[in-house]
Amino acid sequence: MKPDITQLYEAIGYTFDCEGLLRSALTRVAYAGELGIPKKNTMDRFAVLGDAALDTVIIESLLEAGEDDKGEITAKKIALVNMSVFRSIAESIHLTEYVYWGRGEEKNRIWENGRVAAECFEALAGAVYLDGGMDAVRAVWDKIGRR
C-alpha cells in the first residue's frame, strides 16, 4: 500500500491541482504494461520535461545570485543537476515509496539503482511543471533541492 499522498505534498511543499499528472509521473512503464495503461501515462516523458525544467530553475538561480561567468555557471549547474543529487533528493522525500513499480522491478528493488531514483525525481519535477509552471518547480527546488 502506498503512503498517504499528502505526506509527499508536505515534503515537496506543493499540492497538485491535477493529481492525474502526479499519478502518471509516478507510474513506471513496466507497471503500465502489466495493466494495459497507455505509455503516455507513464513517467518517462515527465522525466525528460522535469530534467529541462530543473536545469532552467537552477541556471536562473545562479544568474540571480550574480554568477556571470559561463564556465562557472556550467560547473555549478553540473554539480547541482546530476544523478547523485537527484537520487539524494528522491531518498530524502521517500519518493520511491509512491512509485508504481512493475512486478519485476519490485522483485529486484530497482529503485536502489541511483539512476532510477533520480529519474523518479525528474518525473515529479515534470509533473509539477505541467501542473503549476516554472514558479511551482522553483518553489519545490527551493524547498527540497537547496541544501
pTM > 0.85: yes
Stretch 3-18: mean pLDDT: 96
pLDDT band for position 146 (cuts 50, 70, 90): low
Query: 23 CB contacts (<8 Å, ≥6 apart)?
Result: 41, 100
pLDDT tens profile 79-133: 988 899 999 999 999 999 999 999 999 999 998 877 999 999 999 999 999 999 9
Is 19 labeled as catalytic in the residue annotation?
no
Write down the catalytic residue from 105, 119, 122, 131.
Answer: 122
Distance in angstroms (rounded) separating the CA atoms of residues 146 and 122: 15
Write down the catalytic residue from 44, 51, 105, 131.
Answer: 51
Report which DSSP code applies to 2.
P
Superfamily per CATH, domain 5-145: Ribonuclease III domain (1.10.1520.10)
Q: What is the per-residue burial (b if ≥16 Cβ within 10 Å, else e) of 20-57? A: ebbbbbbbbebbbeeeebeeebbbbbbbebbbebbeeb
Domain-by-domain residue ranges, the chain? 5-145
- In the numeric block, the cell 527540497 is attached to 144
pLDDT tens profile 30-81: 999 999 999 999 999 999 999 999 999 999 999 999 999 999 999 999 998 8
Is 51 labeled as catalytic in the residue annotation?
yes
